[in-house]
Structure formats: structure tokens, C-alpha cells
Amino acid sequence: RQRVNQELKAMEREEIIRIEPGGLVVLERAALMRISEADV
């Protein structure tokens, strides 16, 4: 869980996502897709 939070914060700092009380908002879908493909 700690690692997941670290990764989410990193993506938020890079403005790929925005964390909100109700969940998260994807700001840069292409960047998120590149990250997900790199981890396969």
C-alpha cells in the first residue's frame, strides 16, 4: 500500500492524475498508458 501511494503521488506531481476525496482524475491518458505498458 505504501508503494502504491508513492506511485500515485509521483503521477500527481507529474500532472498525470489528480487525487480527489472521491477518487482520482486522469489528466494525461497517454502518459498513463505509457506507464502501464512499461510495467508489463
38 has pLDDT over 90:
no
- Overall domain count for the chain: 1
Q: What is the pTM of this model?
A: 0.81
Of 16 and 39, the one with more pLDDT = 16
What band does 40 get if pLDDT is binned at 50, 70 and 90? low
What band does 2 get if pLDDT is binned at 50, 70 and 90? very high
How far from the centroid of its chain's Cα atoms is residue 31's Cα?
9
39 has pLDDT over 90:
no
Which three cell numbers mark 16? 498525470
Q: Which domain holds residue 9?
A: 2-38
Cβ atoms of 14 and 31 within 8 Å: the answer is yes
11-35, pLDDT tens digit by residue?
A: 999 999 999 999 999 999 999 999 8
Burial 26-38 (b: 16+ CB within 10 A, else e): eeeeeeeeeeeee
